[in-house]
Amino acid sequence: MSRLTVQSIESAPEASRPFLAKAKAKNGFIPNLLGVLANAPVALETYLTVSEINGRSSFSLAEREVVQITAATYHGCAFCVAGHTAIAYKQGNLPEALVEALRRQQTLPDPKLDALAVFTRAVIRNRGAVGNADLQDFLAAGYGEQQVIEAILGVSLATLCNFSNSLAQTELNPELAAYRWQPQT
């Protein structure tokens, strides 16, 4: 059971209700993460707004999901790993070998995407103070300064939802159960 209330459209603060209704119309259900964030309407609005902005970055859907799944596994957020695994398969049609390597924090079969995952972990581990070698490796993989900053954007989005879910101990929606993940011990 979640430690924080998972709000429904009916129980949520008035300012959160339109966001939850839109999410339900889009997904067919309200992800429990959004129900938790609905406790603070500005947090829910921030998450949805930054998600939309992140979707306009120069990164492909596959690259955005690499950042999100990498951050979620690094932070140990089982809810976000499951949710982004569903997106990776259903919307991104990403290969199973790639998604499973992400979920296991292993080397990715695509060298450029692997460079993105390595850089994302460096950004998180070093709180942005990435060393010159890590930065140069990322740039040498074919990314530019725009993608350096966009990786941080993706990490900021992930941090909001990863930390919220970890604190709340958000239960996984039944719609995401097939993508369940547990941190490696």
- Please indicate, yes or no, whether residues 67 and 48 belong to a single structural domain of this protein: no
- Please indicate, yes or no, whether residues 25 and 108 belong to a single structural domain of this protein: no
- Assess if residue 5 is contained within a domain: no
pLDDT at 5: 98
pTM over 0.85: yes
CATH number where 136 lies: 1.20.1290.10
Cβ-count burial of 142 within 10 angstroms (0-12 exposed, 13-18 middle, 19+ buried)? exposed
pLDDT at 131: 97
Could you say which of 28, 54, 80 is where a domain stops? Answer: 54
- Please indicate, yes or no, whether residues 37 and 116 belong to a single structural domain of this protein: no
- Please indicate, yes or no, whether residues 83 and 44 belong to a single structural domain of this protein: no
Q: State yes or no: pLDDT of 27 exceeds 70.
A: yes
| Mean per-residue pLDDT, 97-118 | 98
| Residue 178 DSSP class | G
| Mean per-residue pLDDT, 168-182 | 97
pLDDT at 184: 80
Cβ-count burial of 165 within 10 angstroms (0-12 exposed, 13-18 middle, 19+ buried)? buried
Q: Which residues contact 12 (CB under 8 A, 6 or more apart)?
A: 20, 35, 38, 39
Q: Which long-range contacts (CB under 8 A, 24 or more apart) does 12-20 make?
A: 12/38, 12/39, 13/38, 13/39, 13/41, 15/41, 15/45, 16/41, 16/44, 19/44, 19/45, 19/48, 20/44
pLDDT at 48: 96
- Please indicate, yes or no, whether residues 77 and 119 belong to a single structural domain of this protein: yes
| Mean per-residue pLDDT, 98-102 | 98
- Assess if residue 7 is contained within a domain: no
Average pLDDT value over all residues in the chain: 97
Start-to-end Cα distance in the chain:
22
Amino acid at 111: P
User: Residue 49: which of 63, 32, 37 has the closest Cα?
Assistant: 37
- Please indicate, yes or no, whether residues 80 and 104 belong to a single structural domain of this protein: yes
- Please indicate, yes or no, whether residues 45 and 75 belong to a single structural domain of this protein: no
Number of domains in the chain: 2
pLDDT at 183: 86
Q: State yes or no: pLDDT of 18 exceeds 90.
A: yes
Q: Which helix (H) or strand (E) holds 73?
A: helix 61-75
Cα angle vertex 47, ends 41, 48, to 5°?
90
- Please indicate, yes or no, whether residues 48 and 73 belong to a single structural domain of this protein: no
- Please indicate, yes or no, whether residues 50 and 65 belong to a single structural domain of this protein: no
- Please indicate, yes or no, whether residues 40 and 98 belong to a single structural domain of this protein: no
- Assess if residue 184 is contained within a domain: no
Half-sphere exposure of 132 (CA within 13 A, CB side): 0
Q: How far apart (Å, rounded) are the C-alpha atoms in residues 29 and 20? A: 9
Question: Containing domain of residue 30, as a range?
Answer: 14-54
Query: Got the DSSP string for 22-54?
Result: HHHHHHSS--HHHHHHTTSHHHHHHHHHHHHHH
Q: State yes or no: pLDDT of 147 exceeds 90.
A: yes
Reported as a pLDDT band with limits 50, 70 and 90, residue 185 is low
Q: State yes or no: pLDDT of 30 exceeds 90.
A: yes
